[in-house]
Amino acid sequence: MTPSLLLAVLASGFIYGITPGPGVLAVFGIGAARGRRAGAGFLCGHLLGDVIWCSTALIAIVGAREFGSTTFNVLGLLSGLYLFWLGLRAVLARKSSAAQQGPARQPFAHGILFGLTNPKAYPVAVATFTALLSSRAELLTWSMLPWLIALSFVGGAAAYVILVGIVGAGHVRALYQRHELLITRLCGVMFIGFAISALVHALPGLIHAMG
């Protein structure tokens, strides 16, 4: 595994974990109502869902690579278009995404359920990992899969450590709520950048295959 591939997988897990979405909003609400420990419990439970969805996404990506470059490029095309759609929606958003999440009586169990039932978790994981790994697709093999899963877990855990560190700070939560729309739009720009990266790597191969 090359250093660039290692960093790409770590970055994928980190970005997937820290990007504002339903889980981030929920942990800010729980942390505000019950404190940093409850927020940490929620994220520990949520991490189980992240591991499952990220592992499933990596299996799909490696499988597509093993089946041939055309299959991987089709996956890259679909992932790029999906990320572009998500990014465009975020950039064009006119109001914040959701109301404040209420406190959870059992943060850990709530985090597990929340992480496993998020309908956007799998497609976002596939799109994010494909966008960042597409330039290194030729390096991906089944033998690397345990390492890829472990590295994505480390990246996601690092993102959650940062979230736990800031979730108990009242001024940080207030700043996030005050500028949530701006943060959402900036994340949209980031998603569009990932989408362009995925499309740039997928389209030439597809055009060549059709020619």
Domain boundaries, the chain: 3-67+97-177
pTM, full prediction: 0.71
Residue 78: the pLDDT is 84
pLDDT single digits (tens) 64-73: 877 777 877 7
**Structure-token match 């979230």, residue found:** 163
SS (H, E, C) 46-104: HHHHHHHHHHHHHHHHHHHHHHCHHHHHHHHHHHHHHHHHHHHHHHCCCCCCCCCCCCC
CB 28 within 8 A of CB 176: yes
Distance in angstroms (rounded) separating the CA atoms of residues 210 and 105 = 55
pLDDT single digits (tens) 26-61: 787 777 677 788 889 999 999 888 888 889 888 888
Q: Is the pLDDT of residue 99 over 70?
A: no
* 117 contact partners, CB below 8 Å, separation of at least 6: 49
Distance in angstroms (rounded) separating the CA atoms of residues 94 and 146 = 41
Q: How far apart are the first and last CA of the chain?
A: 33
Percent of the chain with pLDDT over 90: 14
Residue 90: the pLDDT is 80
